[in-house]
Amino acid sequence: MFGAIGNPDHDDCVRMVDVALENGINFIDTADMYSAGESEEIVGKALRGRRDGIVLATKAHIQMGEGRNRSGNSRRWIMQAVEASLRRLQTDWIDLFQIHRPDPSTDIEVTLSALTDLVHQGKIRAFGCSTFPAGDIVEAYLRCRTPRSRALQHRATSVLAAVTGHRRVGPAALPAVADESSDLESACLGVSRADIARESRWTWQPVGPRSTRRVLILRTQTLRRSSTLSNNSSTSLRA
């Protein structure tokens, strides 16, 4: 970690980045709250003159300074946080901007709308999340698929793929598959709706207390997928 909570020697931190880049590393991840912005400032110094070859990621959500509006996932704070990160990182764009934590006080659609606008403005190239419960990610995905959120739909498939794109899906990634109206989500797991219908251990459950949508979860401890479910018969799902 760069800065006061890790290594406070800026020159030493820049040398670390130099060594990493010289050895083929091209992805750097930081966050605004790491050392209260100092980490981003160090990364900005280290990447000066060689930004184009780097995939740069940062995050926002956690309190930055004083004031009740300087944290969270509201449109107001996300827009301010991105501008501040761009200044500290000395760059015109962020390749991956991540929401650091969930915010129960802000509707997820407000957050998704703000992030999508930032993509359209060219200030971020893509967005994601960090340490979100799987149910919140599924809720975000389902919101992207509602008729009033068509502008977000092109991001929905990659959101779900990020949850289900593992050979072994751990407890935190379930529930993470489907609503009842589409085959898309079950296809992401490599199973068909007919397979699911034959498997009594799958059950439909609400996404969350405020949601009317339902997702598919696995009730038993382990399901070993057979060749009818996947080309790789050794793959298992853990709930």
Catalytic residues: 34
Helix (H, G, I), strand (E, B) or coil at 28: strand
**Cα–Cα dist 150/209, whole Å:** 24
DSSP state of 93: -
**Cα–Cα dist 75/111, whole Å:** 6
Q: Look up residue 189 and give its two tokens.
A: 């797991």
Angle CA 76–77–78, to nearest 5: 95
CB 168 within 8 A of CB 235: yes
**Cα–Cα dist 117/124, whole Å:** 9
DSSP 52-105: GG-EEEEEE-S--SSSTTSSSS-HHHHHHHHHHHHHHHT-S-EEEEEE-S--TT
Q: Which residue has the tokens 């040398």?
A: 15
